[in-house]
Amino acid sequence: MNPISFLTQMIRIAVPYLFAASGGVVAERAGIVSLTLEGFMLSGAFAAVLGTNYSGSPWVGVLCGILGGLIFSLIHAVATIRYRADQVVVGVAINLLAIGVTRFFLKLFFASSSNSPRVAGFGGNINVAGFDNPLLWLGIIVAPVMAFVIYKTPFGLRVRAVGEHPDAAESVGVSVTRVRYVAVAISGMLAALGGVYLALDQHQFTDQMTAGRGFIAISAVIFGRWDPIRAALACLLFAAAETLQIQLQGSHAIPSQFIEMIPYALTIIALAGVVGRAVPPAALGKVED
């Protein structure tokens, strides 16, 4: 096993997790449960391919993907903030809605129930192993940027305040509703970028192509104790497990079924060791009167 090859593949695999987990941290620090990351990623992936297909430009695809995630995040925000719906139930519904909507429009626009035609993407130089993709570099820096926003800016202070003590934040003039809307919107756009990266890296959209990555990203948020840098490290750990799974698939010493279980087993083991000790934001998932 070549260490350089392992490392480069791990980084490429980690990028969608890094985007989604960074978005999840922002929303959850504001008190909104982010079970919707899978749906945001899937909607972003489809919108990116749709935009790229009709414009011929992957940059237009990126903008369309961000818009797709924003639309789904606003649906989530309206349901949970405006109408005070149960955040877990809404999260499940958003994910199912994203699967259904993308499958419907895949059939409508591309006359296929499985995948879109190939579209333009970024990079493609095999000699640099995908590192000529600008989204990859954006994914690498997204966690430090979000850490700066959360811990070093007035907006970040408001996010942390409404996630811990919304009544106290409201008493000093902070609009809890507005901050949560913005936080969920940021979450949707960042998670959508994870889906955009997947779609444009593969140059097409396939049905349910996110394959549970959004759920692993939310696991990274919990494992990282709602801190962007720690969540990013957790994403790298899960990406390393997935890379190991891929590189072991050619081995006949271990049954393939056990190899495919590696990333998910690691996720369960990691969460089992940290959930009892991790302290979430005090107002996470609580509906305000």
Residue ranges covered by each domain of the chain:
3-274
Closest CA to 94 of 232, 221, 191: 191
Q: What is the pLDDT at residue 268?
A: 77
Closest CA to 280 of 87, 98, 94: 87
Kindly calculate the radius of gyration of the chain based on its CA atoms and give it in whole angstroms: 19
Contact criterion met (CB below 8 Å) for 8 and 126: no
Q: What is the pLDDT at residue 19?
A: 97
pTM of the full predicted structure? 0.93
Tell me 133's DSSP state. -
Q: Could you give the residue ranges of the DSSP H alpha helices within the chain?
A: 3-29, 37-55, 58-77, 87-110, 134-152, 154-164, 166-171, 176-202, 213-223, 228-248, 256-260, 262-274
Contact criterion met (CB below 8 Å) for 40 and 72: yes
Residue 243 vs residues 1, 5, 237, 279: alpha-carbon distances, Å: 11, 10, 10, 30
The CATH number of 3-274, from 1.10.3720.10, 1.10.1060.10, 1.10.3470.10, 3.40.50.300, is 1.10.3470.10
Structure tokens at 207: 């049905």
CA 71 to chain centre: 15
Positive or negative, the Cα torsion across 240, 244, 245, 247?
Answer: positive
Distance CA 95, CA 232 (A): 23
* pLDDT tens, the chain, 289 aa long: 678 888 999 999 999 999 999 999 999 999 999 999 999 999 999 999 999 999 999 999 999 999 999 999 999 999 999 999 999 999 999 999 999 999 999 999 999 888 999 999 887 666 676 788 899 999 999 999 999 999 999 999 999 999 999 999 999 999 999 999 999 999 999 999 999 999 999 999 999 999 889 999 999 999 899 999 999 999 999 899 888 888 777 666 667 667 777 777 777 777 676 555 668 898 898 876 5
